[in-house]
Structure 1
Amino acid sequence: MILEALQYAATRAVTPKEFRPHVRYSVNLWARANRCAAAWAEHENNSRQFVLQSARTLKQRRTAVVLGSGLLRDVPHNALVAMFDTVVLVDLVHLASVQAKLRFNAKKNVRIANRDLSGFDDLIVGRPAEPLDFLRRVPYLDLVVSANLLSQIGTGGQHRLEREKIANAPDDLLPGLIRTHLDALAGLPCKVCLVTDTAFDIIGKDGSLQQHEDLLHGVEIASPAAAWDWPLAPFGEESRDYRIVHRVIAREMT
C-alpha cells in the first residue's frame, strides 16, 4: 500500500489536471500487474512478440506510435526505441515510474502524450468522432500499435455512462466507440498492429463457466493472426472461488 500511495502521489504530480481522475485506475492496474506477474507473463510476451514481428517487416522505421502504452509491460519498448528514430507513447496516464524509466533512454527519442483516444465526447452528442486524427500530423509515421486498448475504450465508456448517470445515450454508443477505433486504425497510411482482449470468462474452481462477457459489444474482428488466453485474475486475486480469463487476439489492420 505504501508503494501504491507513493506511485499515486508521484504520478498525480506529473499528470495534466484533466487526466488526473484516471490516475487511480492506472496505479491499481500497476499493482495488480505486479501481484500477477507470473500469470501475466505469457500474455505480455505474446503481445510484445507480435508487435515486434510486425515492426521487423518494415523497410522504413522512422516514427512508431503506441496507443494505450500503459505500463509498457506488453509493448516491446526497448526494441522499438532501438529500431525507430522516434517512438511516441499515447495514453490517458503515464505512471511516474514509467516516465522515470524513459528518462534513462540513451537515444532520447521517446515522446509521451496524454490523450483520450475514445471519441466518447463526440459520439455521446451525435457528432462524428475522429479520436485518432492527430496521427495525420505525425511526420514520417511508419507504425501504429493499438496495445490492449480497444476493450478499455468500451469499458471506459460504460463506466462513464454509469458514473455520470447519462440516461439518454445512443443505443449503439458502446459498439460505436469500438467501431470508431477500428475504422480509424484501418484508415491509416502505415503499418497498424492491433492487440486486444475481446471477451472474458469467470471460471469456478470446478471449471464451470460462471459468467461470460463480450468486451467488444458485438463488434467482430475478422481473421486474427494470433489468439491466446490472458489469466487476468488467478484464483485468490479477486476471490478464492473463481478466476477471470480474458481472450486476446492480434492482427495487422493494414
Structure 2
Amino acid sequence: MLRESLEYLLTPCPRHIRALGYLSESVALGARYRRQSRVWTPHVAACRRFILDAADRVPADGRLLVAGAGRLIELPLHELSGRFAETVLADVVHPLPVRLAAWRVPGVRLWSLDVAGVLGPLHAALTAGGPLPVPPPDGLFDGPPFDLVISCNLLSQLPLLPLDAIEARRPVIDEASRHVFAQALVRAHLRWMRRAGRAAALFTDLESVWLDRAGRAVERDSSLWDIPLPPPDRAWEWDIAPAGEQDRDLALRHRVGAWFDVPNA
C-alpha cells in the first residue's frame, strides 16, 4: 500500500483527470499486474507479437503513436524504439515508471492526451449540471499523421471511468443516454485513429466472461457497447482476474480481438 500511496501522491496529473479517477485506476492497474503477472503472461505475449507485426507492416524509421500506452505492460518499448525514429506514448496519465522509461529510451516522448476529447467538458458538465458532451468528430488531433497509430486495449475502456463518474455524480441520467454516450466515445476513437495515422491498428477487449470455479461461464457481457465490428485478424483469451482477485468465487476472462487496419463501426 505504501508504494501505491506514494505513486498516487507523486504522479503529475491534472485536477479533472484525477477527479474522474484516472490516476487511481492507473495505480490500481500497476498493483494488479504485480499480483497477476504470471497469469497475464500469455496475454502480454500475444499483445507484443501483434504490435511488432503491425510495426513490420509500415516503413522503418517513421513515427509511431501509441494510444493508451498505460503502464507499458503490453508494449515492447525497446523493440519499437529501435524500429521507429520517434515513438510517442499518449495517455491521460503517465505513471512514474513510464516517465523514467521515456527518459531512458532514445526517441521516446510522452504526450498527455485525452483521445476522446470529452474529459474536460464532461467534468465541467458534471460539476455544473449540464448535458453530456458530444465527442469532437475526429477527437483531439492536429498535425501531420503518424506513420502508424496503435491503440492498446483502449477502445473498450474509454467509456468506463466516464460512466462511473456519471453514475456517481449524475445518477438521474438514464441508462439509454449513458449507452449512447459510451457508443459515441467508441466511434469517435475509431475516427480519431484513421485521422491520426497513415496506418492504424488496435487490440481491444471484445467480451467479458465470468467463470465459476469449475470453469463454466455464468455471465457474458459485450465490452464494445453493442457496436458491431468485423471479425478480428487475431483473437485470444486473457485471464485477467482469477477467483479471489475481483470476486470471491468467480474468475474474469476477457476475449481480446486485434485488427491490423482499424475497422469501421
Give the Cα–Cα distance (whole angstroms) in 1 for the partners of residues 47 and 260 of structure 2: 12
- Counterpart check, 1:132 vs 2:132: no
Q: How does 1:128-167 map to 2 (within 5 A)?
A: 129-130=136-137, 132-134=139-141, 136-137=142-143, 139=144, 141-165=146-170, 167=172
Runs of at least 5 residues in structure 2 that lack an aligned partner in the other structure: 123-130
Shift of 1:251: 0.5
Give the Cα–Cα distance (whole angstroms) in 2 for the partners of residues 162 and 152 of structure 1: 16
Corresponding residue for 2:258?
A: 250
Give the Cα–Cα distance (whole angstroms) in 2 for the partners of residues 189 and 104 of structure 1: 26
- Pick the aligned partner of 1:223 from 216, 224, 231: 231
Q: How does 1:12-161 map to 2 (within 5 A)?
A: 14-21=12-19, 22-105=22-105, 107=106, 109-120=107-118, 125=132, 127=134, 129-130=136-137, 132-134=139-141, 136-137=142-143, 139=144, 141-161=146-166
Q: How many residues align?
A: 248
Give the Cα–Cα distance (whole angstroms) in 2 for the partners of residues 140 and 210 of structure 1: 44
Runs of at least 5 residues in structure 1 that lack an aligned partner in the other structure: none
Amino acid at match of 2:203: V
Deviates more, 1:142-151 or 1:166-175: 166-175
Give the Cα–Cα distance (whole angstroms) in 2 for the partners of residues 29 and 117 of structure 1: 20
Change (3 A) 1:190 1:35: same
Given that 2:91 and 2:114 are in contact with CA atoms closer than 8 Å, whether structure 1 keeps it comes out as yes
Q: What are the superposed Cα offsets for residues 56-93 of structure 1, whole Å, 9 maximum, x if unpaired? A: 12124321000000010111211111111111111111
Shift of 1:161: 1.8
Give the Cα–Cα distance (whole angstroms) in 2 for the partners of residues 91 and 173 of structure 1: 20
Shift of 1:7: 1.8
Corresponding residue for 2:242?
A: 234
Corresponding residue for 2:126?
A: none
Shift of 1:189: 4.8
Shift of 1:168: 4.3
Amino acid at match of 1:175: Q
Deviates more, 1:93-102 or 1:33-42: 93-102
Change (3 A) 1:118 1:133: closer
Task: Provide the secondary structure at the position in 1 that maps to 2:156.
Answer: helix
Amino acid at match of 1:90: A
Change (3 A) 1:16 1:29: same
TM-score, structure 1 normalization: 0.89
Give the Cα–Cα distance (whole angstroms) in 2 for the partners of residues 244 and 200 of structure 1: 7
Change (3 A) 1:91 1:131: farther
- Percent of aligned positions that are identical: 29
What RMSD, in angstroms, separates the aligned Cα atoms of the two structures? 2.2
Shift of 1:142: 0.3
Shift of 1:125: 4.5
Given that 1:116 and 1:131 are in contact with CA atoms closer than 8 Å, whether structure 2 keeps it comes out as no
Q: How does 1:189-204 map to 2 (within 5 A)?
A: 189-204=197-212
